A and B are shown apart, each in its own frame.
Chain A
Amino acid sequence: MKDSMDDQELSARFRSLRREEAAQAPPFAVPERPLVSSWPRLLRAAAAIGLLVGAGATTLWLRQRRDTAARNQLALYRASTWVVPTDFLLETPGTDLLRRVPQIGIADVARIRAMPIDR
């Protein structure tokens, strides 16, 4: 083996490799176009359509869900702030006394003093 390999020797080695690989090359054949090339395109188109439909459905679902939540909140608010229209009928004279707890033992001295003395 020489110390340095010159270009001719490299070329010879590559030529030898080329001969060997050329002998093992498959025969030339024109590929069948439709079977190989059309399916990936169809699949890509179907995938794109599927993605679009999915995105649309998701958007609709999210919008509907948001609307439902808003409607529920409004109904809850209305229910909690609802006032009975006939509530005023329950307001009778003396109702105020019924709502207060009577207190015993505390005299209103100022009021008593202010009362006129009946002689």
Chain B
Amino acid sequence: MMAPNALIDTKAEGGRPRTIPMRPIELETELKEHHRAAFGWALSCCRWDRSMAEDVLQASYLKILDGRAHFLAHSGFRTWIFGVIRRTAAEHYRSWMWRRFVPLASLDGHDKEIPSGDDAESGLTHAESNARLVSQLRSLPRRQRELLHLVFYQDLTIEEAAAVLGISVGTARTHYQRGKRRLRERLQEDAG
């Protein structure tokens, strides 16, 4: 069984925060509860490459369960797990980029082009509208795409999204506004 490795914040009698270990079963319950949202976020972090998103999700769960990632309750559990997934995706992406330079990398199937939303091999069969949204999201700069996803898809506040991305609220708000404007323009151009 997994060893206790995460911490959860509680308020002691004097109002000072303290931490107690989160039991493995509690961790698993929390992960299971946020699994679908986490998968959606992993997909976004991996630019809708489903196989990479699944790998990233599994690697993130491993980090959490074997104690390499600690929940210190500075923010909510969901905010924290999204941060872990984002970092793991960045590591996987660097590894993926590295493998592209290895001549035999094509054999393991990781150097294929990132499939578009309507690629049958990807297993994702987006509806036409969703496929257009994904396509336009993928064309946005990373920060803008991540902020829009966290705010509109995951229903986080801009403050929570800033915490996930590790940036200031002011910067997050700027990226959010720019991303929203750009996405609207592109979706309207696409529809027109």
Contact = CB atoms under 8 A, between A and B. Distances in A.
A40 to B, nearest CB: 11
Contact of A17 (B28, B61, B130, B188): B130
Contacts of B191: 1
B40 A22 contact: yes
Interface stretch (A26-34, A90-98, A110-118): A26-34
Dominant secondary structure of chain A at its interface with chain B: helix
A41 B177 CA distance: 43
A72 interface: no
A13 B129 contact: yes
Interface residues of A, number: 25
Given A10-B184, A14-B152, A24-B123, A36 B62 contact: yes
Interface in A1-46: 1, 3-5, 7, 10-11, 13-18, 20-22, 24-26, 28, 30-31, 33, 36-37
Contacts of B50: 24
B187 interface: yes
Given A10-B152, A25-B35, A33-B2, A1 B62 contact: no
B66 A17 contact: no
Interface residues of B, number: 37
Given A31-B62, A31-B65, A10 B39 contact: no
A11 B35 contact: no
Contact of B133 (A3, A4, A13, A30): A13
B188 A5 contact: yes
Contacts of A21: 36, 39-40, 43, 124
Contacts of A26: 39, 54, 57
B187 A33 contact: no
Interface of A: 1, 3-5, 7, 10-11, 13-18, 20-22, 24-26, 28, 30-31, 33, 36-37
Given A17-B134, A36-B58, A37-B66, 11 more contacts: A1-B188, A7-B180, A10-B152, A10-B180, A14-B153, A15-B153, A16-B127, A20-B130, A31-B62, A31-B65, A33-B2
